Amino acid sequence: GESVGLHLPTLSVQEGDNSIINCAYSNSASDYFIWYKQESGKGPQFIIDIRSNMDKRQGQRVTVLLNKTVKHLSLQIAATQPGDSAVYFCAENINRGFKTIFGAGTRLFVKA
């Protein structure tokens, strides 16, 4: 399939290590945040979300941290696996709106 994110920032990690992907957002009115994973040739896949009244949320092997003071969002992946290799997008909704705005994306490469 076609490649996604040919010129994106890249994070390379060893299999089994933890990964941290960072994202800065600019709109202080953003109140809902989502991380998506996109593999080549596929649409984005929902990973985890967090609302602005929280600063941390955990899922299976993933944790999202939200720092509203500095408008920063991060995704932590524990025990990274080769199947985690993909492009990761942070996304935000503003003022309880339905429109999701995507960031530029980060490519995660997992070395076996």
HEC string for 33-66: EEEEEECCCCCCEEEEEEECCCCEEECCCEEEEE
The least CB distance from residue 78 to other proteins, in Å, is 20
At residue 63's C-alpha, the angle toward residues 16 and 39, to 5°, is 65
The least CB distance from residue 17 to other proteins, in Å, is 26
Residue nearer to other proteins on the CB measure, 76 or 103: 103
The least CB distance from residue 103 to other proteins, in Å, is 6
In the complex, which residues of this chain contact other proteins (CB under 8 A)? 2-8, 31-32, 34, 36, 41-46, 49, 51, 89, 91, 93, 96, 98-105
Q: How many helices (H) and strands (E) does the chain have?
A: 0, 10
Residue nearer to other proteins on the CB measure, 39 or 65: 39
